[in-house]
Structure 1
Amino acid sequence: MGGVEKIDGVPVTEAQIAEWVAEAEVGYDVEALKRRERGRPGRGAEPAQVVALRLTAEQLAKLDARAAREHKSRSELIREAIAAFAA
């Protein structure tokens, strides 16, 4: 295994570790951490449900190509297609 530890592809340095240790030793504002919004934003009043979808390699390639052209995510395109179908 070995090698350099990375976070998001960026090597973690000894200096960065020392900064994290110093920050932790000072302590964290727990109330501020609780107030932070985490996770994906909601899609309405009700919780959204995740639905699995199987696509062929060809379908996925076409979806990705269109998503790139329109600067959207796969999910955005699929939601738009379902909304148009259901209208």
Structure 2
Amino acid sequence: MPVTEEQIAAWAAEAEAGYDIDALKKRGRGRPGRGAEPSQVVALRLTSEELAELDALAGRLHKTRSELIRAALAAYAA
């Protein structure tokens, strides 16, 4: 859809009036961070049976798959 002169004028007026920086910062996208540094996504292959068991346990414990996997890794590393 083409941008109209009216849209450009409205955007310019909004910019000239100033933006609320705090409001803009609150509009983050994506998943929330887990720490000060970005997290890395790691792919993991599971059989359908393993995935079903993981999901069942997650449901019983009211946790996510990721939470269970991180807890298992932490317990294994301890």
Q: Tell me, what secondary structure is at the counterpart of 1:44?
A: coil
Q: Kindly state the Cα deviation for residue 43 of structure 1 after the two structures are TM-superposed.
A: 1.2
Counterpart-to-counterpart distance in 2, 1:61 and 1:76: 16
Q: Which has the higher contact order (CA 8 A, sep 6+)?
A: 2
Alignment correspondent of 1:71: 62
Aligned-residue offset at 1:31: 2.6
Alignment of 1:3-18 (within 5 A): none
Matching of residue 62 in structure 1 with residue 14 in structure 2: no
What corresponds to 1:46 in structure 2?
37
Equivalent position amino acid for 2:25 in 1: R
1:36 Cα deviation (Å)?
Answer: 1.2
Q: Distance in 2 between matches of 1:35 and 1:75?
A: 26
Question: Aligned match of 1:36 in 18, 26, 34?
Answer: 26
Name the Cα RMSD after superposition. 2.5
Out of 65, 75, 78, the position equivalent to 1:84 is: 75
Q: Percent of pairs identical after alignment?
A: 63
Give 1 or 2: higher strand fraction.
Answer: 1
Match of 1:19 in 2: none
Q: Which runs of 5+ in 1 are unaligned?
A: 1-26
* Rg comparison, structure with higher value: 2
Q: Which segments of structure 1 move beyond 4 Å, counting only runs of 4 or more? A: none
